[in-house]
Chain A
Amino acid sequence: MRTILRLFLLIAVSLTSQSFAAIDTYEFADEQTRERFYRLNHELRCPKCQNQSLADSNSPISMDLRREVYRLLEEGKNDREIKDYLVDRYGEYILYRPELSPHTLMLWLAPLILLLIGAVALIVLIKRRRLTLAQSSALDTEEQARLDRLLKDSHTATDKDLKARD
């Protein structure tokens, strides 16, 4: 139990400290620019370390690219321009959130398509089950007549039995 608790704590801690592995000191004109800087660094991918964002990585290339992002922010470039600048040099790869373009279309649409397939399959299944349930519970007229007859027979039978016992 204790180990489980510890493990849980460890996971919780590692989740909360979405750490800026690298700490550089940059001065910003205002809070808004600082936020844009952090947001951009989280959305841009370190070209060398593959599964880390620029904000996450301590590799020299990430440091350089953070400096570059800072420089471009200082120059008054907007987010779009900064991303384009980096895509021009490092390719689409650098964006953690790829643009919607012909060759990323599948990437963007696949979840939606899968969801649709799932939803359709679910609806079909539910409908089919309802249909079979309805069929099994409802009796057609012929069956109803047979049931009535059977019930009647059994009643008369029991009546006779009772009388016979007397």
Chain B
Amino acid sequence: MKRVYLFVPLIIFLALVALFAKGLKLDPTEMPSALIDHSVPEFSLPSLVAEERMLSREDLIGEVSLINVWGTWCPSCMHEHPYLMKLASQVPIIGINYKDVRQDAQQWLQKLGNPYVINVFDEQGTLGIDLGVFGAPETYVIDRQGYVRYKHVGVVDERVWLERLKPVIDRLRNEG
């Protein structure tokens, strides 16, 4: 048998090492959203603050904005909130109050401040399911026509904003 064949197992081993090393660095929680480049789904849900007012898809679209899924039950949302307050001056933030208690959520906004231009009260999480939400916080970038262009799962902080969200928003704004 030729000598070279002896190196075959080593080569296979090294190939596997390379493959697994790459796999280690992948984040298994990072899933491609099925909703990217799809339109924001139709819905009819009450506003969080103005309880009588019913909101629908048309109330959310028109501008390049962020959709932020949050709840008072979600500790990361508490962590994220101060940064959203800062961001509110740079981009309209639409809130989806996901599976929450209305009074708790209203108190939260009164106490900590309200970064949202509008807040949908999604008590049952139905809009959440249509959006493919599986936890909070989640943040979407939508364009003027109401198409979801980017999704970020987890807390939005300065780094996420500068590296991920802002470039998308700038691009969409320039598209006109």
With both beta carbons as reference points, the residue of chain B lying nearest to A87 in the complex is identified as B34
Which of A48, A65, A91 is close to B129, meaning CB atoms less than 8 Å apart?
A: A65
Chain B residues engaging chain A, CB cutoff 8 angstroms: 28-29, 31-35, 99, 124-125, 128-135
CB-based contact A88/B34 at 8 Å? yes
- The interface on chain A, measured as residues whose beta carbon lies within 8 A of the other chain's beta carbons, has a size of 14
A8 CA to B118 CA, complexed, in Å: 58
The reply on A90 being an interface residue by CB < 8 A is yes
Question: Out of B31, B99, B133, which one reaches A91, CB within 8 Å?
Answer: B31
- Which of B124, B130, B135 has the most CB atoms of chain A within a 10 A radius of its CB? B135
A110 CB, min distance to chain B CBs, angstroms: 12
Partner of A93 from B31, B124, B125, B135 at Cβ < 8 Å: B31
Please tell me if the beta carbons of B35 and A50 are within 8 angstroms of each other in the complex: no
Which residues of A are at the interface with B, using a C-beta cutoff of 8 A? 47-48, 50, 60-61, 64-65, 68, 87-91, 93
Question: Contacts of B130 on A, CB cut-off 8 Å?
Answer: 89
**Which chain A residues border B129 with CB–CB below 8 Å?**
64-65, 68, 89
Task: Tell me, in angstroms, the Cα distance from A146 to B124 when the chains sit together.
Answer: 95
New A-B pairs, 12, CB < 8 Å, besides A64-B128, A89-B129 = A48-B135, A50-B28, A50-B29, A64-B125, A65-B129, A87-B34, A89-B34, A89-B35, A89-B131, A90-B132, A90-B134, A91-B32
- Name the B residues within 8 Å of A60 (CB-CB): 99, 125
A25: min CB distance to chain B, Å: 18
A89 touches B135 (CB 8 A): no
CB contact between A90 and one of B34, B99, B124, B125 (< 8 Å): that residue:
B34
Residues in B whose Cβ lies below 8 Å from that of A91 = 31-34, 132
Give every chain A residue within 8 A of B33 (Cβ-Cβ): 91
Measured between beta carbons, the chain B residues less than 8 angstroms from A48 are 134-135
Instruction: Kindly provide the distance from the CB of B66 to the nearest chain A CB, expressed in whole angstroms.
Output: 20
Q: Are B134 and A47 in contact (CB under 8 A)?
A: yes
- Min CB distance B6 to A, Å, is 16
In the assembled complex, the CB of A84 is this many whole angstroms from the nearest CB of chain B, namely 11
Chain A, residue nearest B71 (CB) = A60
Chain B neighbourhood of A90, CB < 8 A: 31, 34, 132, 134
Shortest 5 CB-CB contacts between residues of A and residues of B: A47-B134, A91-B34, A89-B132, A48-B134, A61-B134
Nearest residue (CB) in A for B31 is A93
Q: Which chain A residues lie closer than 8 Å to B124 at the CB level? A: 64
Closest residue of chain B to A46, judged by CB? B134
Q: Give the distance in Å from the alpha carbon of A68 to the alpha carbon of B33 in the complex.
A: 19
Contacts of B135 in A (CB 8 A): 48, 61
Q: Which residue of B lies closest to A49 (CB)?
A: B134
Per the bound structure, the CA–CA distance linking A68 and B132 in Å amounts to 13
Bound form: Cα–Cα A47–B28 in Å: 11
Chain B's closest residue to A63 (CB) is: B125
Distance, CA A47 to CA B34, complexed state (A): 12
Q: Give the CA-CA distance A138 to B131 in the complex, in Å.
A: 75
Name 11 A/B residue pairs within 8 A (Cβ), A-sorted.
A47-B132, A50-B29, A60-B99, A64-B124, A64-B128, A64-B129, A65-B129, A90-B132, A91-B34, A93-B31, A93-B32
User: B99: which A residues are within 8 A, CB to CB?
Assistant: 60, 64
